[in-house]
């Protein structure tokens, strides 16, 4: 990666103004002259970078351009051979443990330890919720583990269908919303949470996902439990939750309690 190149560094959740040399700045990421070599190969060649807090950036470049290396150096997963860097006002290498409590990093290719079970990997990583985990359908022991830990299983049936996840787990004949295992998970005692994933991409909303749940056989009382679990497992800070009345939306005309009787969307019964 050559000097002067733009080096956006992935999807990082960053917060707060930072301090460098006793001067408060609004840069979440700052780097100067970063160099990283692997033997005779130079992956980073004097990279300068300043990313303001609140900025969303994407790193573009061919394989071998240094994208992953830049991210790993800034996360403290690799140590730079030269140059300086700051992340959230701290040193990525020296302050890695504290910094990692304040950010999230999802690599493009996730490879976990092959000798660990799903449950062991969940415990080791300290997972607090599982997203799109419909593959647990084939692992009763993992489902038991999720129940013992009380970990929510966050599911968007429409997303599961349109991304092909449902077909990969259930085969071509099972790639239909009316075959989704949501109700089976709920009946088994898993903490199921309904979500919309990416509403614009999958052309859905939360009310639509509750309609799918109703069509899958959830009773009104079960839908209420599903909503309560979803609210309890939400990532919304506790202070903000207290400002929300769980029953207020259901009492408004046009809300879920008035519309869940509508039929499942057309693509519920097609691939």
Residue 108 confidence (pLDDT): 66
Residue 123 confidence (pLDDT): 86
DSSP the chain: --TT-----------S-EEETTEEE-EEEEEEEEEEEETTEEEEEEEEEEEETT--------TTSSHHHHHHHHTTSS--SEEEEEETTB-TTTTHHHHHTT-----SS----TTS-HHHHHHHHT-S-EES-GGGGG-HHHHHHHHHHT-EEEE-HHHHHHTTHHHHHH-GGG-SGGG-THHHHHHHT-EEEE--SSHHHHT--HHHHHHHHHHTT--HHHHHHHHHHHHHT--S-HHHHTT--TTTGGGSTTSHHHHTTSPPPGGGG--
Reported as a single tens digit per residue, the pLDDT across 65-118 is 888 899 999 999 899 999 999 999 899 999 988 888 888 887 766 666 778 888
Residue 101 confidence (pLDDT): 86
Residue 133 confidence (pLDDT): 87
One fold for 18-100 and 118-266: no
pLDDT exceeds 60 at position 263: no
The CATH class for the domain spanning 18-100 reads alpha beta
Residue ranges covered by each domain of the chain = 18-100, 118-266
What is the band of 58 on the pLDDT scale with cuts at 50, 70, 90?
confident
Fold (topology level) of 118-266: TIM Barrel (3.20.20)
């Amino acid at each position: 990666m050559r000097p002067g190149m733009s080096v956006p560094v992935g999807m990082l959740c960053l917060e707060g103004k930072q301090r460098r040399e006793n001067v408060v700045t609004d840069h979440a990421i700052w780097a100067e002259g970063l160099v990283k070599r692997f033997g005779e190969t130079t992956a980073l060649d004097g990279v300068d970078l300043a990313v303001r807090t609140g900025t969303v950036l994407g790193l573009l470049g061919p394989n071998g351009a240094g994208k992953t290396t830049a991210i790993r150096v800034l996360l403290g997963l690799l140590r730079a051979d030269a140059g300086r860097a700051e992340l959230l006002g701290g040193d990525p290498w020296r302050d890695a443990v504290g910094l990692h409590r304040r950010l999230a990093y999802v690599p493009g290719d996730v490879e976990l330890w092959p000798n660990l079970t799903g449950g062991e990997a969940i415990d080791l990583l300290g997972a607090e919720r599982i997203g799109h985990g419909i593959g647990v359908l084939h692992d009763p022991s993992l489902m038991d583990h999720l129940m013992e830990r009380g970990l929510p299983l966050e599911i968007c049936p429409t997303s599961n269908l349109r991304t092909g996840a449902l077909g990969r787990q259930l085969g071509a004949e099972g790639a239909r919303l009316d075959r989704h295992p949501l109700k089976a998970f709920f009946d088994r005692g898993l903490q199921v949470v309904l979500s919309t994933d990416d509403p614009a991409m999958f052309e859905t909303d939360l009310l639509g996902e509750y309609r799918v749940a109703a069509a899958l056989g959830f009773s009104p009382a079960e839908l209420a439990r599903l909503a309560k679990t979803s609210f309890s497992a939400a990532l919304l800070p506790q202070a903000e939750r207290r400002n929300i009345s769980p029953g207020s939306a259901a009492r408004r005309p046009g809300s879920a309690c008035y519309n869940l009787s509508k039929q499942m969307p057309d693509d519920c019964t097609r691939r």
